[in-house]
Structure 1
Amino acid sequence: MQLLRRGDSGPAVAEIRTMLTGYGLLPDVPGGRNHGAAAQFDRDVEDAVRAFQQRRGLITDGIIGPSTYRALREARWNLGDRMLALMISAPMSGDDVFALQERLLELGYDVGRPGGVFDEQTEHGLRAFQRDYGLTPDGVCGPQTLRALRQLGRKVTGGRPGLLREQELLRRAGPRLRGKRIVIDPGHGGADTGVTVAGITEADLMWDLARRLVGRMSATGMEALLSRQENSCPPESDRAAFANAAGADLVLSLHTDANRSMRAEGLATFHFGNGSGATSTVGEALAGLIQRELLIRTSLLDCCSQPRTWELLRLTRMPAVRVEVGYLTNLDDRRKLLDPGFRDVVAEGILVGVKRLYLLGQNDQPTGTFTFSDVLARELGRNEARAM
């Protein structure tokens, strides 16, 4: 879709204003849907868009792009407004799906992370609920199922069972890296070069970083898979589907950032979180570990770990973290990124962050002191690691 921003006007802006008004973020403008002020993207609309984006874990730039528009459309649905079912070709998504997933989790049914998309795991959990309560197990959330959901009290209180389940899976995985399957997602690719400055492209830099990370992970006995080919750029939904189909334990997405100001700089990591309580606790923990390791190793400015609802973070069934390594538009960050030795340091820091996640604080070392050799020594045995 065409980006909409302050200064634009027309029917598309009128639609945005109508949605924002319905969510209580913008006062109603008399005079009709496409008349006068009702079709203007003014300062009030920009402020309302920013407020909505902040609520939904989106980038708060005040611009209507594909992610913000999709979130606006999804927010209009309340549980009970429509029948919900698994649609393979065009999965249903919206706040009503999120509410259904949250309700099933409260009742003790495993639907995975509540991301607001009606997927196979949601259908499986819904069918299990229907069977247990004497309903036709058709996997469709219709009037009878809704009535049963509303009549039943909660089985789980005082916590979020989905998050507890995610933490328990991490505990059971054990401290060793060997055998764990990780999807490495180098941002952009092919015709989509991402940030490009002076002929230097984000896609090429992240492809190189991804290959360095894959090499180190493979040396520890992990199975590291790339989400794309060197000259391809699948959409984020396809990258998430690839990770889900592969049964990955973690997803690591690699990017650099850009800004109109050359002074913008630094490192940020992102995990799934919608600002309304739904989050990936393991993803948040991993993002924090990687953030701290890289800050000490690279001296990049700390732009913090933050929750987001981007598709790759929201649609993956396993914890996913996006790492934004510096700003290619910043001279100092760009100089660092162009140094192969710096990219080696980043790859080592990310690997160590993953290792520390699985250690769960046991037999760990202070931030910044764990090396690739240390990891190999723990995974392969010290004599074998020295031989490599």
Structure 2
Amino acid sequence: MGDDLLRLGDEDDRVAALRARLAGMGLVDGSPDADLDTPDGPSRRFDADLERAVRAFQQQRGLSADGIVGPGTRAALADAAWVLGDRVLEHLPGALAGGDDVIALQRRLLDLGFAVGRVDGLFGPETAAGVAEFQRNVGLEPDGVLGPDTMAALGRLRPRASGGNPNAMRAAERIRAAGPSLDDKLVVLDVVPFTTDVPGLGADAARLDALGSTAVEAVASLVEQGLVEVGARSLRTTPGPERERAWASNRSGGAVCVSLTTDASTDPGAGGLSTYYYGIDAHDIRSTAGERFAGLVHREVLARTPFADGGCHARFWDLLRMTRMPAVRIDLGCVTHAPDATALGDPEVLASVARAIVVAVQRVYLGPEDDSPTGLLSLDDLRALRDRPDSPEG
């Protein structure tokens, strides 16, 4: 176990601090103001109650609810500590301020009619531009910095009725304006290296690693071939931290992003296809375009393969959070689940998964007049749509 992880059974001052933080959120019994250094302070033992509280926090924040406090959960806890007005916010390239206060600012500006890009809790250039435009409108120096004067001006104004989610409407319009053809659209493929992290597998771990990695690589290659057949282009991300892969995806100008991996579980009965899109339940935030894309992929794959339905879920993972195009993460079953392992070893199933992904990409851009029920469109149908006389390429 790495020193940077906290999990069930650990006992030290970090656990006491974690318990106090979660007590302040009402997720576990205790006082958030208790002195950590007194006998009556928070318990230093990571017990079952604290694990349940960690899982509940992770679920609220769109993280993998494994009950283990690693870098992602620790960062989310830090984000949750900030309240709008606690600090000055400004855009610092390479060191973006993040937190719940940034989310509150982004939502406030959107409600007032100022564009900030995606509500992602990161003070990036689009958010700074939104702050500057707000400042310009209220007669302040448009420096894009949220300081005391700008915060006071925000507090004086009431949001206008927006008539819906402006970001969702902008995303829908971008997709409509892109047109139905996939010709020259770029699909970013993010192939996630797979390594089982399940104790007790012994020598079987290497075999399962190979099964998961081989299956994901096969699907990625088949998706690339299918995209070429329907006129699209593809680009793979370079292995590295999620943020770097997201930034590279954005620089590429990709139309959509598809992230592929498999899963593993300590429960041999846990399995099925799971898909993920950007969202965080704690703030009722969703990427509407990402949710629609993930739903299309999920239903197409389920309709064409034997995988069980593992659900379509909102997550706050950096790759989904920071990409500026509709993005989906696909977990192609669990290698530790016997039916999934069989499917992942079947070339026909993998080919069906790849066809389903290509079809789902096309369906993102089809209007109601050209779309079809789930599971019916083939690559031949997509080629026919592309070649028909009334298409731009026909």
Q: What's the TM-score, normalizing by structure 2?
A: 0.90
Work out whether residues 9 and 39 of structure 1, in 8 Å CA contact, stay in contact via their aligned partners in 2.
Answer: yes
TM alignment of 1:52-63, pairs within 5 A: 52-63=57-68
TM normalised by structure 1 equals: 0.91
For residue 349 of structure 1, what is the aligned residue in structure 2? Answer: 356
| 8 A Cα contact 1:187 1:202, kept in partner | no
Q: 1:205 to 1:174 in 2, by over 3 A?
A: same
SS in 2 for 1:293: helix
Q: CA-to-partner distance for each residue in 1:70-91, whole Å, 9 max, x for gaps? A: 1111000001001111111221
**Is residue 307 from structure 1 mapped to residue 314 from structure 2 by the alignment?**
yes
Bigger mean CA offset, 163-172 vs 86-95? 163-172
Amino acid at match of 1:248: G
Distance 1:129 1:194, change over 3 A: farther
1:378 corresponding residue in structure 2:
385
- 1:19-98 alignment, distance < 5 Å: 19-28=21-30, 32-34=35-37, 37-98=42-103
- 2:254 counterpart of 1:254: no
1:314 to partner: Cα distance: 0.8
Task: Provide, for residues 216-253 of structure 1, a one-character-per-residue CA deviation record: whole Å limited to 9, x for no partner.
Answer: 1122222211112xxxx311101110111112221111
Q: Runs ≥4 in structure 1, deviation > 6 angstroms?
A: 192-195
Q: CA deviation at 1:201?
A: 5.0
Contact persistence 1:193–1:203 (CA under 8 A)? no
Q: Distance in 2 between matches of 1:215 and 1:267?
A: 22
Cα pair distance change 1:173/1:139, threshold 3 Å: same
Question: Secondary structure of the residue that 1:325 maps to in structure 2?
Answer: strand
- Cα gap change, 1:51/1:335 in structure 2, threshold over 3 Å: closer, same or farther? same
Worse-superposed segment, 353-362 or 297-306? 353-362
Does the 8 A contact of 1:188 with 1:194 survive in 2?
no
CA distance in 1: counterparts of 2:279 and 2:230, whole angstroms:
30
| Equivalent residue in structure 1 for 2:229, among 211, 219, 224 | 219
C-alpha deviation, 1:361, in angstroms = 2.6
Could you tell me whether the CA contact under 8 Å between 2:113 and 2:162 is conserved in 1? no
Amino acid at match of 2:262: T
Aligned to 1:283: 290
Structure 1: give runs of 5+ residues left out of the alignment. Answer: 383-388
After alignment, is 266-275 or 193-202 more displaced? Answer: 193-202
Q: Which residue of 2 aligns with 1:137?
A: 142
Q: State the Cα deviation string for residues 84-109 of structure 1 (Å, max 9, x = none).
A: 11111221100001111111111222
Per the alignment, residue 202 of structure 2 pairs with: none
Distance 1:204 1:136 in 2: 56
* SS at 2:190 equivalent: strand
Residue of structure 2 aligned with 1:5, choices 3, 7, 10 = 7
Report the alpha carbon displacement of residue 318 of structure 1 after superposing the two structures with TM: 1.6
2:121 is equivalent to residue 119 of structure 1: no
Q: In structure 1, the residue corresponding to 2:118 is in which secondary structure?
A: coil
| CA shift in 2, pair 1:7/1:193, >3 Å | closer
Residue 385 of structure 1: aligned partner: none
Q: Which runs of no fewer than 5 residues in structure 2 stay unpaired?
A: 199-204, 390-394
| Residue 366 of structure 1, CA deviation | 1.9
Deviations 1:23-51 (A, max 9, x none): 22223259731555531111221121122
- Number of aligned residue pairs: 376
